[in-house]
């Protein structure tokens, strides 16, 4: 029996809220992705010692740090990892903050599971650095 093609795609989740983290993990695994989950930056660093993720999915804020800062730090540990920050960042009065997200994909809330899965597929299918930036949607 052939391995599901997505089973070779590793996603690292960095989401503080245990319920949201669990829903994301179940949704992604049901789609065939391998998922390592962490609730804080320290655990995410530990996970990077065990796996080389293709994609980091984090929220706008995680325990004690912004999602952007966490992603910047984790990217120094895994240079090829793409980043998707999910959260409500896209109202015009936060444009300056969005500009700080240079190099990462941003996906605003609210969204449905199917929309999230499509966004994950889109981000993973792009060559490193293409389409990433403060206004990527």
The answer to whether 73 and 12 are in contact (CB under 8 A) is no
Question: Does residue 40 lie in a domain region?
Answer: yes
What pLDDT, on a 0 to 100 scale, did the predictor assign at position 123? 92
The total of structural domains in the chain comes to 1
Burial track 78-99 (b if 16+ CB lie within 10 A, e otherwise): eeebbbbbbeebeeeeeeeebe
Q: What is the CATH number of the domain that holds 47?
A: 3.40.50.2300
Question: Does residue 131 lie in a domain region?
Answer: no
Question: Does residue 61 lie in a domain region?
Answer: yes
| Regions of the chain where pLDDT drops below 50 | 1-3, 92-93, 95-96, 130-137
> For residue 71, what are the domain limits?
5-125
Question: Does residue 134 lie in a domain region?
Answer: no
Question: Does residue 136 lie in a domain region?
Answer: no
pLDDT tens readout for residues 68-104? 899 999 999 999 999 998 886 555 445 445 555 666 7
What pLDDT, on a 0 to 100 scale, did the predictor assign at position 112? 85
Question: Does residue 44 lie in a domain region?
Answer: yes
What pLDDT, on a 0 to 100 scale, did the predictor assign at position 133? 43
């Amino acid at each position: 029996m052939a391995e599901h093609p997505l089973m070779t795609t590793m996603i690292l989740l960095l989401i503080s809220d245990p319920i949201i983290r669990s829903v994301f993990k179940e949704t992604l695994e049901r789609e065939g992705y391998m998922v390592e989950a962490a609730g804080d930056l320290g655990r995410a660093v530990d996970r990077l010692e065990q796996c080389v993720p293709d994609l980091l999915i984090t929220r706008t804020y995680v325990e004690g740090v912004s999602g952007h800062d966490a992603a910047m730090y984790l990217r120094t540990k895994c240079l090829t990892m793409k980043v998707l920050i999910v959260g409500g960042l896209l109202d015009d009065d936060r444009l300056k903050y969005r500009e700080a997200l240079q190099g990462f994909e941003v996906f605003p809330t609210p969204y449905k599971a199917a929309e999230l899965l499509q966004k994950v597929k889109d981000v993973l299918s792009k060559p490193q650095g293409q389409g990433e930036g403060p206004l990527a949607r």
